[in-house]
Amino acid sequence: MPFLTALKRVNLRQSISLPHNSIEQGRDPVADIVFYEKPGCTNGEKQKAILLAAGHNLLCIDILSYSWTRGKLLDFVEGKQPEEMMNHMAPAIKKGEIVPAHLSFAEAVEMMVAHPILIKRPLVEVDSMNIQGFMDSRLAPYLGDWSGADDVVTCPNQKTLSCDEQKRGAK
């Protein structure tokens, strides 16, 4: 696990109760996964719990404070339309200040590098793959016994204030 030495590894098992976690049962983890997240995101917490329950090691990185480059972001979004790769719950998009459908690919990438809140989450690095979004079919083999019945993608604040707006006390 050489990539874990450069960054602090987050041990989420201490804060998430997973009685059947294969790591805690003494089996080797299935994969080392880098999980770019917005800390405190309700769905991000659910997604991490699913990956941990499947026995994986997670290295969680704050997507908002990470130093993004165009090249690094392209690894996740190449070939997608702006509407597919941008976070529709970002305040500027939600308010209509940014309309992904009106952007070129290059404009969208430039905006996301400058303002990572615009990046659709999570971003996942696993087994030499760069995956954007939790429902990407390439992530399916890593989801363990998760049935997919629970919605862990749709923001629970979609029709109300975002998590950030709630923290600021916006109306």
Q: What is the per-residue DSSP string for 82-110?
A: HHHHB-TTSHHHHTTSS-GGGS-HHHHHH
CATH of domain 3-168: 3.40.30.10
Tens digits of residue pLDDT in 87-106? 999 999 999 999 999 999 99
pTM: 0.76
Tens digits of residue pLDDT in 52-75? 999 999 999 999 999 999 999 999
Q: Which residues contact 80 (CB under 8 A, 6 or more apart)?
A: 105, 132
The catalytic site residues sit at 41
